[in-house]
Structure 1
Amino acid sequence: MRLFVGLLPPPPVRDELVLALEAHRPRWPGLRWLDPENWHVTLSFLGEVPDPVLPELRARLADAATRHAPLTLSLTGAGAFPSAGRARVFLAGLGGDLPGLARLADHVGNEALEAGAGQTDRRRFTPHLSLARCRADMDVSPLVEAFGTFSGAGWEAGTVHLIRSNFRGGTTGGTTGRTTGGTSDGTSGRAEPRYETVEEWHLTARAPRGQS
């Protein structure tokens, strides 16, 4: 199965971001806006993981979770990959305990590799939440600038999720301009994957003294 490890923003955080994006979405019909219920912060992309690897992967991720404390995070600012001038992904940035988030991502990725899963050529961790995708390179500099002042409420990220990507190919008719958990949004001609939490673990370590 195709897996990744991530954090899920809680519903109030998602709702706040949805409202903040409402004024921007109609001005960018060329973007494929992702379903808010699919929004996530990827810690480690694992790709296709053979079933025999899953027991050890689960055990290692469970152990890793006990070694990290909950993180205070927020969604703030905007950006694009690989660049605003030639974007393929429009995204929201993250604020808060970014050093702690980077340590968690590195630990999770290393444990996945030790279990026989994950990517040996992992890229440098860049915390973000993807909001929209482009079929071809697009200049989204005005959107990045306009949304760059966004600053959302903080939340406590206390649970790591092992998530499966369920791809459903083909296109659908009767689109509404918004993705809804695996249906096409009418801009890319592709179905958005549906994400399913396979297992989750709470971050249970105590925060270092002086941190909440």
Structure 2
Amino acid sequence: MRLFVGLPLPRRVRDELDHALVPHRAAWPGLRWPDPATWHVTLSFLGEVPEGILPDLETRLARAASRYAPMTLSLTGAGAFPSARRARVFWTGVYGSRPQLVRLADSLGAGARRAGAVQADRRRLHPHLTLARSGAGADLQRLVEDFGSFAGAAWEAGAVHLVRSHLGAAVRYETIAEYPLAASAPGGQS
């Protein structure tokens, strides 16, 4: 099964962002804009994972998450990968407890690899939320500039989710498990 660990967005945050994107979607019809119901912040992409490792994987992810305190986050600004002039991904940034979020992602990925998820992403997290995709690298400099002033409401992330991706004509995500961020140390690891 194809899995990732991520943070879902609270409905109020998702609705605020969705509303802010309305004029941009209309102005950029050539981009693929995912359904806001599927929006999430990916912390660790695990790839194809054999079902047999799921019990150990869940134990290790729960342990990693429990070492971190809940985090106050917000969505702010805009950018594009690999660059605004040759963009394949248009995104908004995730800010707030960013250093802790990056360490959490590292811990989740390491735990997943120890459990046998050999495809678990080893790249350092660049906290973002994907808003749109371009098939062939579009010049999105104007879109990045126009949406760059976006500043969303803050929310508290209190748990990470293990999610299964169902690919097809309409991508669907299924939460398999939820792991609380349970440490009591302020702003990070205990």
Q: TM-score, normalised by structure 2?
A: 0.95
Q: Which residue of 2 aligns with 1:79?
A: 79
Kindly indicate whether residue 48 of structure 2 is the aligned counterpart of residue 34 of structure 1.
no
Kindly indicate whether residue 163 of structure 2 is the aligned counterpart of residue 197 of structure 1.
no
C-alpha separation in 1, matches of 2:119 and 2:34: 24
Q: Which residue of 2 aligns with 1:149?
A: 149
**CA displacement, residues 125-157 of structure 1 (integer Å, 9 cap, x when unaligned):** 110000111111100000000000000000000
Q: Which residue of 2 aligns with 1:11?
A: 11
C-alpha separation in 1, matches of 2:157 and 2:103: 14
- Helix, strand or coil at the partner of 1:6: strand
C-alpha separation in 1, matches of 2:100 and 2:160: 13
Give runs of aligned pairs for residues 140-179 of structure 1, distance below 5 A.
140-168=140-168
C-alpha separation in 2, matches of 1:24 and 1:52: 44
C-alpha separation in 1, matches of 2:120 and 2:98: 23
Structure 2 gaps, min length 5: none
Give runs of aligned pairs for residues 124-143 of structure 1, distance below 5 A.
124-143=124-143
**Cα shift at 1:103:** 0.9
Query: What do you get for the CA RMSD once the two structures are aligned?
Result: 1.4
**CA displacement, residues 11-54 of structure 1 (integer Å, 9 cap, x when unaligned):** 00000001111111111011000111100111100000001111
- Please say if residues 73 and 97 of structure 1, whose CA atoms lie closer than 8 Å, have aligned partners that are also in contact: yes
C-alpha separation in 2, matches of 1:208 and 1:152: 23
Letter in 2 for 1:98: R
Q: In structure 2, do the counterparts of structure 1 residues 111 and 197 end up closer, same or farther at CA, with 3 Å as the change threshold?
A: same
Q: Which residue of 1 aligns with 2:114?
A: 114
- Helix, strand or coil at the partner of 2:74: strand
Q: Could you tell me the percent identity over the aligned residues?
A: 64
Letter in 2 for 1:71: M
**Cα shift at 1:207:** 3.1
C-alpha separation in 2, matches of 1:164 and 1:19: 27
Letter in 2 for 1:194: R
Letter in 2 for 1:35: D
C-alpha separation in 2, matches of 1:87 and 1:33: 14
Q: In structure 2, do the counterparts of structure 1 residues 37 and 121 end up closer, same or farther at CA, with 3 Å as the change threshold?
A: closer
- Please say if residues 109 and 118 of structure 1, whose CA atoms lie closer than 8 Å, have aligned partners that are also in contact: no
Q: In structure 2, do the counterparts of structure 1 residues 84 and 192 end up closer, same or farther at CA, with 3 Å as the change threshold?
A: farther
Structure 1 gaps, min length 5: 169-190
For the pair shown, the structure with the greater C-alpha radius of gyration is 1
Q: TM-score, normalised by structure 1?
A: 0.86
The count of residues paired between Structure 1 and Structure 2 equals 188
